[in-house]
Amino acid sequence: MPWNNQGGGWQGGGRGPWGGQNGGSSGRQPQAPDLEDMLRRGQERFRRFLPGGGRGPKAILVALLAVVVIWLLTGFYRVAPDEQGVVLRFGEFVNTTAPGLHYHLPSPIETVLTPQVTRVQRVEVGFRTGEGRRGSQGDLPEESLMLTGDENIVDIDLTVFWVINDAGRFLFNIEDPESTVKNAAESAVRESIGQSEFQFAVAEGRAAIEQQTRDKIQQILDGYQAGISVNEVKLLKVDPPGAVIDAFRDVQRARADLETQRNEAETYANDILPRARGDAVRLVLEAEAYREQVVQTAEGDAQRFLSIYGEYKNAREITARRMYLETMEKVLGNMTKIIIDSDSGQGGVVPYLPLNELTRTPAASGSAGGSQ
């Protein structure tokens, strides 16, 4: 049996299906606010505030003044730290305001635009991020293939990062900022590559090309008074075209091997040449020393010969005898000598003189006797 049929139901007895009365504990429905009543009461209060109860010229004048004050208060505006305020008067650019609280004549006389000027924006040349397969970068050969100064083709992808530095010029001097920056970047990089040789562009010249391209882009945009500052130009790829890239890499590897072998040869030469030069200097010095020694010895011998010859001319017999004795001393100095007197040996006894024993020093004799 339905609950509304029990005891007359909640509609009849004033009780709900859960046994309570409708409207909570008080049993009343919540009342919606009466907007018409609130508006009427507000008008009554405003009329009491106006002189004459809201009727008459003074009341109208006060009402007009209030409206004017409220309209003037709408002229206050705030520029965020990452924005610039561009004030327009009847649609014409007037001035640019810095971050902070400012005032302008209320609309429709003046309006304000506040573009963000610190947000770094990017433009891609030669490719587009996200084109092709998901997460991949789509290549655009019509943008990326460029001719170098030595008439070779190079495949280049680059990204340009830029910000707004003058919001007024940015909003009113160029129509499509992104396309303007992209076209300026493509023109600048083609000019830079056209002035460079192929090997320079793909190897050591990337940093120079980046800086040269950035300067050219900025020069073009300044000519347009675009109000844009180029922060950085980043070359992402500088390679030969895909059809010849394998051959190019083979050449690069061969050049790398050549450079490695050249460095090894220079290292070996730097190790050998100093030692060879040192040995050469040493041999020269030794030869000079030997020459000096031989010359000095020869000069000494000649001087000694001349001295002996002078003595010989003064006393031939004495000098000859002395030379004979000195020669014999040299010849017989280290020989065992026994002197026998032939004149005293006629009696059967041979006189014997042991010169070696006599020439021994006393210390040598003592040690010899002690050893015995």
pLDDT tens digits, the chain, 372 residues: what are they?
333 443 333 344 444 434 444 444 444 555 666 777 877 777 777 666 666 666 667 777 888 888 899 899 888 999 988 898 999 998 888 888 989 999 988 888 989 998 888 889 999 999 888 755 555 568 888 888 999 988 888 999 999 999 999 988 999 888 899 999 999 999 999 999 999 998 888 888 889 999 999 999 999 999 999 999 999 999 998 888 888 888 888 888 998 999 999 999 999 999 999 999 999 999 999 999 999 999 999 999 999 999 989 989 999 999 899 989 999 888 887 777 666 666 665 555 666 666 666 666 655 554 444 433
Pairing of strands 145-147, 153-164: antiparallel
Residue type, 70: I
The Cα–Cα gap between 372 and 368 comes to: 6
State the Cα–Cα distance between residues 142 and 208, nearest whole angstrom. Answer: 24
Q: Of 146, 178, 133, give the one whose Cα is nearest residue 159.
A: 178
Q: Crossing angle for the helix pair 206-224 and 177-194, nearest 10 degrees?
A: 130
CB-based contacts of 129, cutoff 8 Å, min separation 6: 137
User: pTM, whole model, 2 decimals?
Assistant: 0.54
Going from the C-alpha of 347 to that of each of 29, 340, 350, the distances in angstroms are: 183, 14, 8
108 upstream amide cis, omega within 30 of 0: yes
First to last CA, the chain: 157
Measured CA distances, 106 to 97, 103, 171 (Å): 16, 9, 21
